Amino acid sequence: MARALWRASAGIGAAHEKVVGVDLLRTPTLALVAAGDASGSPDPSVDAVRRLAAERGTALHVCSPASHVETREIRRTNVVSSVVVDAGLWRSRAVQVARGAVAAVSLQVGSPPMRIDEWAAGLLRESGATWALTPSFHVGDAAALDALLAATEQVRMPELVTHLPVDAGVLAPGAIDGFLAALARTRPRPFAFTFTAGGTPFDRPQTLLGLRRLLAVHPGSHVYGVAPLVAADALAHGAGLVSVGPSALAPRAPGVAEVAEGPLPALFLETLLELRSPSDYADWFAGEESPWCDTCAARLDLFDPTDADRAAIARHNAHAVDDLGRWLLAHDPADRAAALAARLADALDAHAALTADLGGAAPVVDATLSALCALETTT
């Protein structure tokens, strides 16, 4: 449905694309998603991410209804890290365009109504955040996209980034032309994208190619809430900031059902570049030496479904994803894509070297890893 709506909008060909992005950040940045749930209850996983960020100066993306309060709390204990404050309204509200009435963003309106820059200035002052995202609702079709772009056209503050929380279908081959055309019709400015889906849209090469094409036209854009490998590929292809969420699943659009989690959160294993249950690793490494993390001084395939072990996984993921980002960004910009491609190939080889008896079946390689490796052989 969404794809058909996107396809209906006017398209432009890749040959006509011009680079219109604004240099949003001097230094590309990897951020970690750090936000509690709406109840405000303490979450050991979030605590682990915040501690890591404070130790290393890693950027944070705080997405929650209480993001300004949480950001202020982070600022109180951590003056080093950059922080993006995101009210996350798009999680529950979609842009409404009906009978001439448009609801695309939420502002605390007074009399006269507050301008979006004034709203952001107050938010940044109150929270101490480095950047604020526009309080955008979710975009599900071409009309909603035009409405949101119009509602945010007056953004002028460099610290306020136009946020487009949009169905990941816009990156598909039949839709990306229309999406780029809509962006080309609006005032050039930095964009932040959150690509929603019911699962893992970046497990298809065409979606990854769509993101690369978007970043080629809008270098310096922010990409929020993606899995580690998608984040790395985006950074290697011009993103200004990426944030990595706690699971491989894409953020959900309003009304999309949550996928049940297993007893343990997924763990990021750097040698295989996988983000999956530790019990999978236990199967894959059966009869071999367990995967080991020097930083955590711990085995990575043996956890119990306890809060302590969930926190241990969160601590490991935070440093491992941060390590991946730092490794990539230590390369010259022109060398990053090739360095990442070589590392992806090594991870694929590491899968092939596993010798566990899985009943004749080889380990199921992460779909995004497979898709990125396939792109290297076809592009």
Show the site string, 240-279: x = touches Zn ion by CB under 5 A, - = not.
----------------------------------------
CA 36 to chain centre: 17
Burial class (CB in 10 A: 0-12, 13-18, 19+), 234: buried
End-to-end C-alpha distance for the chain, whole angstroms: 29
Part in contact with Zn ion (CB under 5 A); list of ranges 30-38, 85-93, 312-320, 342-350: 312-320
Query: Taking a C-beta distance cutoff of 8 angstroms, is the pair 254, 198 a contact?
Result: no
Dist. CA 140–CA 127, nearest whole Å:
30
Contact 48, 315 (CB under 8 A): yes
Q: Measured from the CB atom, is 142 or 244 closer to Zn ion?
A: 244
CA quadruple 217, 222, 226, 227: dihedral positive or negative? positive
The nearest distance, CB 290 to Zn ion, in angstroms, is: 13
Listing DSSP states for 340-374 in one string gives: HHHHHHHHHHHHHT----STTPPP---HHHHHHHH
| Residues 165-204, mask of contacts with Zn ion (x by CB under 5 A) | ----------------------------------------
Site string for Zn ion, 275-304 (x = CB under 5 A): ------------------x-xx--------
In the list 316, 325, 348, 371, the residue contacting Zn ion (rule: CB under 5 A) is: 316
Nearer to Zn ion, 33 or 63 (CB): 33
Phi, psi (degrees; rounded to nearest 5) at 330: -75, -20
Stretch binding Zn ion (CB under 5 A), from 42-50, 212-220, 253-261, 309-317: 309-317
Sign of CA dihedral 106, 111, 117, 120: negative
Q: Show the binding pattern over residues 94-113: x = contacts Zn ion (CB under 5 A), - = does not.
A: --------------------
Please say which residue, 193 or 268, places its beta carbon nearer to Zn ion: 268
> What track of x and - describes contact with Zn ion for positions 321 through 340 (by CB under 5 A)?
--------------------
- The nearest distance, CB 298 to Zn ion, in angstroms, is 7
What the block records as the tokens of 346 is 């090594």
The token pair at 238 is 């011009």
Looking at beta carbons only, is 236 or 321 nearer to Zn ion? 321
Q: How far is the CB of 318 from Zn ion (least distance, A)?
A: 9
> According to the binding rule CB under 5 A, does residue 311 interact with Zn ion?
no
Cβ nearer to Zn ion, comparing 296 with 302:
296
Cβ neighbours around 75 below 10 Å, total: 15
Q: Which residues of this chain interact with Zn ion, rule CB under 5 A?
A: 293, 295-296, 316
